[in-house]
Structure 1
Amino acid sequence: MADNAKIASTVIKEIGGKENVTNAWHCVTRLRFNLKDRKLAQVDAIKDIPGVMGAQFSGDQFQVIIGNTVGDVFEEVENVLGGTGSASGSTEKESIVSKLMDIISGIFTPILPALAGTGLIKGLLALALTLHWTTATAGWYQVLYMISDSVFYFLPFFVAVSATRKFKTSEYLGLSVAGVLLYPTMVNAYNAISAGKKVAAITLFSGVNVPYVNYTSSVIPIILGVWFLAIVQRWVKKWMPDAITMMFTPMVTLVIVVPVTLLVFGPLGTYAGNGLAVGISWLFTHAGPVAGLVLGATFPLIVMTGMHYAFVPIVVNNFKVLGYDATIFPINFVTNMAQAGSAFAVAIRSKNAATKQLATSSGISALLGITEPAMYGINLKKKKPFYAALAAGGIAGAFVTFFAVKAFAMAGLTGLTALPVFISAKTPMNIVWLAIGITMSFVLSFIFTLVLGFEDDVVAAPSATKPVKKVAAADKTTVGGATILAPVQGTLEPLSSVADDTFAQGIMGKGAAIIPEDGEIVAPISGKVTVLPDSKHAVGITGDDGTELLVHVGIDTVELGGKFFTAAVKAGDHVTAGQKLLSFDLKQIKEKGYDPTVMIIVTNSNDFTDVLPMNESGVIYPKEQLLVAIK
């Protein structure tokens, strides 16, 4: 797998070091940074880092697109930073819109896994009820329903934690504010009033009554409350004596913040959220297919900026006020299927084996709701498939809006696994219209891509792909390129078959895989050893001809910490092809449950016209021709 620590340290270095980072977090596919000085970020250098799919500024936020392994890389980023940021502010003035989008994204992206997991359970429960597999009174149903509803019901607590981190204030004070909003006195009073009962008022400041508002599942009130908390706490700390600040700063802060939140920010946030939900619903009800067409055709462009997470509070608020979302979720679903359709069309039409492989794997990823590999790796790169996806997404967006397709719970990744959240016993046709919409989107984008065509990658001459068995000279070139030799004895496998998406999707570069039969790795090319981690599970070599090669032994074997590996060289050594690099205990690695597959990757594949295997399958021996990198 990719060396996440190296990716993280290199990214931090190229964005100006940890001193230039004011905040860092991640979403499903990308690292997100606030920087003091954006001019220090070396965008092109970051794009060239193995394991990085792309990098860009979106407003005042710098994003590094990683893909499915972003969580692992972010753990290493936090290790480098020593937290989620090392400074308190930016040296550059941020626009109000950029700052708002940055705040929303930073607050909601950490919560998404919890919302996604519980939302999917709720969707599956709806499916179980619809198919009469269970009843609402069954014990297991009630337990699972509590699980599915818990995050949404107590959402102010979750938002409080991420908001305090974003506003850089005390998490526990933020939770205290949320606790007041959801205190039984408030909840019970609201429920009683809703049932037509009279409830005694809570009066403050000689006649000002506290409004009884339903804060369950709310987001805007607690965000405003925590924002105010951060301001008040910093103000109190400035004048509170150090000897008593630990006790009295929290006390004074809460005594100020909670009443203001109950009287001002809570009701204001609730009314604003209700108005927003009703307004968007009105727009889609009256503008209908036109609104769906516009949003469907432009949603991938919003995803490219990384600002699609700014829609999350709108969606959450729709669920609270309306009980469903008939805007963002359905349209996001069909646009994801459009990206998948275009990618699969490229896989069908392309004559290039590597392109077929990447298009297929990224198309599957898009079907599951992660579209960045398809967008950046295939569709956007070839342009016309991306245009086809935009057109298909717009048409399908108009369709699902016309039939008012609704999502009844959060689902996180909007892909095929999210289908259950669109199921409702009360509106059984909802899932049918969605199924037609996503099928339409996939098929139209597929057809549009085939009709529009695209510029295919150059395919090497047949002579370059003929198997050549034994090679005596390590520096031998073929068709103006470099020959890469097998580093180990074993059975050839296509790189796309390995159980690690970073390698299988070609994110790190093109190459081949070998299931080893012994435990000795030799140099595939002559050059300088540039990478040799302490775990000794991988070796990077920069060839004398400029070829950059990575030999990676096993999947997740970095976790062994060097156990069962012995290096025969060190970083900085010059090696010749066929020279022993390292040895490993194949038996022990297997017994520990690790996949020992050896990956051989040309990490600067973009510098070559193509990187092709000399054979697709069969037994291979050390120093046999494995790959040819064609100039």
Structure 2
Amino acid sequence: MTDKELAKQIVNLVGGKDNVNSLIHCVTRLRFKLKDESKAQTDKIKNLEGVMTVVKSGGQYQVVIGDKVTEVYNQVMPILGLKVDDDTNESASDKNTDKKSIWNSLVELLSSLFMPVLGPLASAGILKGILVLCTITGLMTEKSGTYMILYAASDAVFYFLPIILGFSAAKAFKTDPYLSAIIGGALIYPQMVTAYTAGKSLTFMGIPVILMNYTQTLIPIVAAIYLLSIVQKYLKKIVPKQLKGIFVPLLSLVIVVPLSFLIVGPITSTLSTWLADAVLWVYGVAPTIAGFILAGIWQLAVLLGLHWAFIPIFLNNIATKGFDPINAMLYCTVFGQVGAALAMSIKAKDPKFKELSISATISGFLGITEPIIYGVTLPHKKSFLMASIGSAFGGAIAGFSSAKMFGGFASGGIFGIPMFIGNHGINASFIGFLISLVVAFAISLVLTLVLVPGVKPSKKEIKSENTTVTDSEIESPLTGTIMSLSSVNDEVFSTGIMGKGVAISPSLGEVYAPFDGQVVSVFPTKHAIGLKSKDGIELLIHLGLDTVNLKGKHFDTQIKAGDEIKAGQLLEKFDYQAIQKDGYDIIVPIIITNSKEFKNINILKHNQSLTHGDDLLEVSNNVKTDITNDTVLTNA
């Protein structure tokens, strides 16, 4: 059963979306607040494939999923018609209103403006490039009907960009998207474009209008829609409720469209031209050096979200100058990643990694680099560095060759290459651009083959093949009193559904690393930590019961997901006394969530006080017949 199918069945069996007041999730379970719990078909939900059990506690109807809870939650929320904040896992009504940094706000704005249109822009740009290639090779003529129809399809998104961006900007600025599209349409209305082309002079109520051609522009419409959002907020306050439906849109058009032609358009168009001139001037000073630096750091910039600041520059250069040299220098970075990924697939001794890297390499040639970056090169940092070095040399060659992108936006891959052929056909600049791709690919491939070790099968896989494993010990992460898991007042833990383990009643509000390994997850509300040892043991430390409802209060994490940890390292502080005063059980279940992968889990201490760092559990795949069932939790 897929996550989406499971989500649909859960929603249906809890009584449908109309029976759900709200939904959050913790590290293991979906936590519904239902209008009427009697409508939920608990037995049927428990029997669903992918559901471990159902718990009713604290006014919540909790469907226990396990480690796939986030994926299922992400499928449930659209069915319920709710939005979620990825950082807090709360529905929109509970969303945290903490202030964002200026940079984060800018990145969020730019991504919301351009992310929805990047796909159409890239596909239309590729089609334009293919048409140029067809005319150069004589497969088509510009006067043929086939060419004219396909060119209309490729050019429409750019010509009518103010309308499309108007709709997109409305969502970013939380205003009327259809009114925004109309304003974009007004800026490129045929009679206004014709008046500009003919050099006519116009006035609005006696005020001279500076006519401009706003087709293919982006900054003027974004500024106009921002103005619309301000105007509409004011109008909604002063227009009587009974008249808002007609007069708010009417007055918005009467105010914003003239101001766009009189003030907003001319100013932003001039600024757009200045920006393009400034960028091209900087590029012209030392294009080879610029290409080397920008291409060398580009994939890192993408990882950090800094690339959103460049996308408006690419598009603005195309809109104002008809070409862009910056993306031409950066295009080779995709092929740098592909070269490194191919090298990693050649050297890999782990069959699973080899299969992953081969498929990622193929997708990289098509311009999809996420599988390469997140699955191949970034986890093996040295190969990511080799890809960046190869890309730097490719970018330098593109800069030296004065390579340019024409008439669109290329997102990467072999299908975008024709976009770098200009009206002059295949010339030295385009040949230099092709060389930049080959150089980035070849250098990254060779450096990775020579300098980066091949990926070997993980220890966990070797162990499963041999079924003989050296015992692994887990230290106590807390100071307190050890208790049996069965004494925990939560059946998800006490019955062992989540896995085998123990519980500790803490006497010190500090959590320490129980082994050398890695932090897999830190739940946003800080009440649960997922760890993985170097021996493949997956451990969940759950601080208290139902403490997800505290939303991070009384918890102070010292680590984040992805951190490497050493045994005895401080991971988190928590005020267990304050948690208890707030009415929550402070018992801490410590669960080996992949218990089924091990033959034995040996509890080394029983019903006694212990200090963090004391030996707590011993995990092994060896069958030990000399230990009693009270001491060993056997999965064999």
Cα pair 1:221 1:266 within 8 Å, conserved: yes
In the superposition, relative to structure 1, how do residues 246 and 425 fare at CA in structure 2: closer, same or farther (>3 Å)? closer
* Superposition pairs of residues 1-400 of structure 1, within 5 angstroms: 3-4=3-4, 13=25, 49=68, 78-82=78-82, 86=92, 91-193=97-199, 199-204=200-205, 206=206, 208-328=207-327, 330-400=328-398
Give the drift of 1:456. 2.8
Query: In the alignment, does 2:410 pair up with 1:409?
Result: no
Tell me what 2:631 maps to.
none
Give the drift of 1:459. 5.8
In the superposition, relative to structure 1, how do residues 14 and 104 fare at CA in structure 2: closer, same or farther (>3 Å)? farther
Cα pair 2:158 2:408 within 8 Å, conserved: no
- Within 1, Cα distance between the matches of 2:66 and 2:277? 42
Match of 2:289, as an amino acid? V
Tell me what 1:436 maps to.
435
Give the drift of 1:165. 1.0
In the superposition, relative to structure 1, how do residues 154 and 284 fare at CA in structure 2: closer, same or farther (>3 Å)? same
- Within 2, Cα distance between the matches of 1:239 and 1:356? 65
- Within 1, Cα distance between the matches of 2:67 and 2:498? 19
Cα pair 2:393 2:440 within 8 Å, conserved: yes
Give the drift of 1:284. 1.2
- Within 2, Cα distance between the matches of 1:269 and 1:425? 28
Tell me what 2:588 maps to.
none
- Within 2, Cα distance between the matches of 1:242 and 1:17? 40
Q: Which moved further from structure 2: 443-452 or 302-311?
A: 302-311
In the superposition, relative to structure 1, how do residues 4 and 406 fare at CA in structure 2: closer, same or farther (>3 Å)? farther
Give the drift of 1:432. 2.1
Q: Which moved further from structure 2: 292-301 or 90-99?
A: 90-99
- Within 2, Cα distance between the matches of 1:238 and 1:338? 55
Q: Which moved further from structure 2: 123-132 or 72-81?
A: 72-81
Match of 2:150, as an amino acid? L
Cα pair 2:405 2:419 within 8 Å, conserved: yes
Give the drift of 1:369. 1.4
Match of 2:248, as an amino acid? T
Match of 2:162, as an amino acid? P
Match of 1:161, as an amino acid? F
- Within 2, Cα distance between the matches of 1:138 and 1:159? 31
In the superposition, relative to structure 1, how do residues 464 and 442 fare at CA in structure 2: closer, same or farther (>3 Å)? same
Tell me what 2:59 maps to.
none
Match of 1:131, as an amino acid? T
Cα pair 2:292 2:392 within 8 Å, conserved: yes
SS of 1:244's equivalent in the other structure is helix
Give the drift of 1:241. 0.8
SS of 2:242's equivalent in the other structure is coil
Deviations 1:105-152 (A, max 9, x none): 101110112212221111110000110111111111111111111110
- Within 1, Cα distance between the matches of 2:371 and 2:329? 19
Tell me what 2:467 maps to.
478
In the superposition, relative to structure 1, how do residues 355 and 12 fare at CA in structure 2: closer, same or farther (>3 Å)? farther
Q: CA RMSD in A?
A: 3.8
* Superposition pairs of residues 414-433 of structure 1, within 5 angstroms: 414-429=412-427, 430-433=429-432
Q: TM-score, normalised by structure 1?
A: 0.62
Cα pair 1:174 1:226 within 8 Å, conserved: yes
In the superposition, relative to structure 1, how do residues 286 and 178 fare at CA in structure 2: closer, same or farther (>3 Å)? same
Match of 1:277, as an amino acid? A
Give the drift of 1:48. 6.7
Deviations 1:437-467 (A, max 9, x none): 111101101111122223633467999898x
Give the drift of 1:88. 11
Match of 1:390, as an amino acid? S
Match of 1:105, as an amino acid? S
- Within 2, Cα distance between the matches of 1:322 and 1:6? 51
In the superposition, relative to structure 1, how do residues 308 and 359 fare at CA in structure 2: closer, same or farther (>3 Å)? same
Tell me what 2:483 maps to.
none
* Superposition pairs of residues 474-513 of structure 1, within 5 angstroms: 478-480=467-469
In the superposition, relative to structure 1, how do residues 379 and 2 fare at CA in structure 2: closer, same or farther (>3 Å)? farther
Deviations 1:292-345 (A, max 9, x none): 1111111111111234234222111111111111102x2332111111111111
SS of 1:413's equivalent in the other structure is coil
SS of 1:218's equivalent in the other structure is coil
Deviations 1:544-582 (A, max 9, x none): xx999xxxxxxxxxxxxxxxxxxxxxxxxxxxxxxxxxx
* Superposition pairs of residues 482-631 of structure 1, within 5 angstroms: none
Give the drift of 1:169. 0.8
- Within 2, Cα distance between the matches of 1:265 and 1:364? 46
Unaligned runs of 5+ in 1: 20-45, 53-71, 194-198, 467-476, 482-526, 531-545, 549-602, 609-631
Q: Which moved further from structure 2: 359-368 or 81-90?
A: 81-90
Match of 2:196, as an amino acid? Y
Deviations 1:79-103 (A, max 9, x none): 4444688469862222333222211
SS of 1:209's equivalent in the other structure is strand
Cα pair 1:18 1:80 within 8 Å, conserved: no
Cα pair 2:407 2:419 within 8 Å, conserved: yes
- Within 1, Cα distance between the matches of 2:198 and 2:236? 40
Unaligned runs of 5+ in 2: 12-21, 33-64, 86-91, 471-495, 500-535, 539-592, 599-636
Cα pair 1:296 1:335 within 8 Å, conserved: yes
Deviations 1:238-286 (A, max 9, x none): 1211111111111122222122221121111111111111111111111
Match of 2:307, as an amino acid? H
- Within 2, Cα distance between the matches of 1:18 and 1:252? 46
In the superposition, relative to structure 1, how do residues 604 and 128 fare at CA in structure 2: closer, same or farther (>3 Å)? farther
Cα pair 2:347 2:453 within 8 Å, conserved: no
- Within 2, Cα distance between the matches of 1:105 and 1:156? 17
Deviations 1:481-500 (A, max 9, x none): 9xxxxxxxxxxxxxxxxxxx
SS of 2:241's equivalent in the other structure is coil
SS of 2:202's equivalent in the other structure is coil
Deviations 1:23-53 (A, max 9, x none): xxxxxxxxxxxxxxxxxxxxxxx9975998x
In the superposition, relative to structure 1, how do residues 114 and 604 fare at CA in structure 2: closer, same or farther (>3 Å)? farther
Give the drift of 1:168. 1.0
Higher-Rg member (1/2): 2
In the superposition, relative to structure 1, how do residues 256 and 368 fare at CA in structure 2: closer, same or farther (>3 Å)? same
In the superposition, relative to structure 1, how do residues 202 and 50 fare at CA in structure 2: closer, same or farther (>3 Å)? same
- Within 1, Cα distance between the matches of 2:459 and 2:195? 74
- Within 1, Cα distance between the matches of 2:153 and 2:274? 29
- Within 2, Cα distance between the matches of 1:153 and 1:266? 16
- Within 1, Cα distance between the matches of 2:292 and 2:2? 39
Match of 1:229, as an amino acid? L
Cα pair 1:5 1:76 within 8 Å, conserved: no
Match of 1:158, as an amino acid? I
Give the drift of 1:3. 2.5
Identity %: 33
Tell me what 2:444 maps to.
445
Cα pair 2:537 2:594 within 8 Å, conserved: yes
